[in-house]
């Protein structure tokens, strides 16, 4: 594990920042931040400032996401951007919770986990740009529009997982498991594709890309509402299944295996 990753993990443990996360967790206490001015070849070369990030000069803020085992520029796969450091960290923990709950509920990592996961990251990062700073700020200010739509579904899945955890004595039916897994896998794909496209803003702050991010799930391939439409239709059915299987007033009898053929 490289020094920066270890330093981040160790300092966060000391500060109590490695959370037993849930979607609405409060932003953590942060005592330092990193500076990315676009010239570093690796996140290990970022400037590190040991002070309250509220004092930082930044065009906008990011949580930068990297493939496992590397903090080189070419290993970055995504970013969570926003106008302030608290909002990007809050969003990061929300999506990290989603990823962790996926692993717990289905006992396997999401697809492409090693290439794209939330574990290897640097945050909060103050982005300093010498050119087009106003354009950056104007574009990034619009990003919460899409995050809000994603969060509706992320929070639903996290809540569903908590329902299952709180009722461990009730078995989950194959129907519910399969529908939840399809739902979560598709939501994970849309979310990570959006974060991947968002990273491009750091290198190409153009209005067309921003329009694609706001109106599309990634690179303009269908609007975000269109991308989430199948999940919108599936969510009520999933809620009904959850209520049916986990309503304490209507316990589901555990079926015994058929021994007639033995």
Q: Tell whether 225 is covered by a domain.
A: yes
SS3 per-residue string spanning 79-147: EEEECCHHHHHHHHHHHHHHHHHHHHHHCCCCCCCCCCCCCCEEEEEEECCCCCHHHHHHHHCCCHHHH
Would strands 33-36 and 121-127 be described as parallel, antiparallel, or unpaired? parallel
Q: Tell whether 61 is covered by a domain.
A: yes
Q: Tokens 């330092």 correspond to what residue?
A: 32
Q: Which stretches of 167-216 are DSSP H helices?
A: 174-199, 207-215
194 vs 96: CA distance, rounded Å: 15
At residue 46, the 3 state secondary structure works out as coil
Q: Tell whether 203 is covered by a domain.
A: yes
Buried-exposed string 166-203: b where 16+ CB fall within 10 A, e elsewhere: ebeebebeeebeeebeebbebbbbbbbbbbbbbbbbbe
Q: Tell whether 224 is covered by a domain.
A: yes
Q: Tell whether 25 is covered by a domain.
A: yes
Q: Tell whether 219 is covered by a domain.
A: yes
Across-strand partners of 60?
127
20 vs 42: CA distance, rounded Å: 30
Mean pLDDT by 10 residues, the chain (262 residues): 38 33 57 90 93 89 94 93 92 96 95 92 88 70 85 96 91 94 95 86 68 55 77 93 82 46 42
pLDDT value, residue 145: 82
186 vs 234: CA distance, rounded Å: 11
Task: Give the predicted TM-score (pTM) of the model.
Answer: 0.80
Q: For the chain, what is the domain count?
A: 1
pLDDT value, residue 141: 79
pLDDT value, residue 11: 34
Q: Tell whether 262 is covered by a domain.
A: no
pLDDT value, residue 223: 66
Q: Tell whether 187 is covered by a domain.
A: yes
Residue ranges making up the domain that contains 120: 3-246
Nearest to 102 by CA among 194, 21, 221: 21
């Amino acid at each position: 594990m490289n020094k920066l990753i270890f330093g981040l993990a160790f300092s966060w443990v000391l500060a109590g920042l490695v959370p037993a996360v849930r979607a609405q967790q409060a932003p953590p206490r942060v005592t330092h931040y990193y500076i990315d001015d676009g010239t570093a070849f690796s996140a290990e070369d970022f400037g590190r400032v040991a002070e309250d990030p509220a004092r930082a000069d930044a065009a906008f803020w990011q949580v930068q996401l990297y493939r496992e085992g590397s903090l080189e520029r070419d290993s970055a796969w995504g970013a969570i951007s926003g106008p302030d450091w608290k909002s990007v960290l809050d969003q990061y923990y929300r999506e990290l919770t989603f990823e962790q709950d996926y692993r717990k509920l289905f006992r396997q990592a999401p697809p492409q986990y090693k290439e794209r996961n939330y574990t290897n990251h640097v945050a909060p990062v103050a982005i300093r740009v010498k050119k087009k700073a106003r354009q950056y700020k104007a574009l990034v200010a619009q990003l919460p529009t899409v995050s809000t739509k994603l969060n509706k579904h992320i929070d639903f899945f996290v809540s569903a997982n908590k329902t299952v955890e709180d009722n461990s004595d009730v078995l989950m039916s194959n129907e519910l498991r399969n529908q939840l897994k399809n739902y979560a896998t598709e939501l994970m794909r849309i979310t990570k594709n959006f974060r991947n496209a968002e990273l491009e803003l750091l290198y190409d702050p153009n209005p067309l890309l921003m329009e694609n991010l706001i109106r599309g799930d990634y690179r303009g391939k269908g609007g975000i509402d269109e991308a989430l439409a199948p999940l919108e239709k599936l969510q009520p059915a999933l809620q009904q299944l959850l209520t049916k299987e986990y309503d304490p007033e209507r316990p589901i009898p555990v079926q015994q295996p058929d021994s007639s053929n033995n």
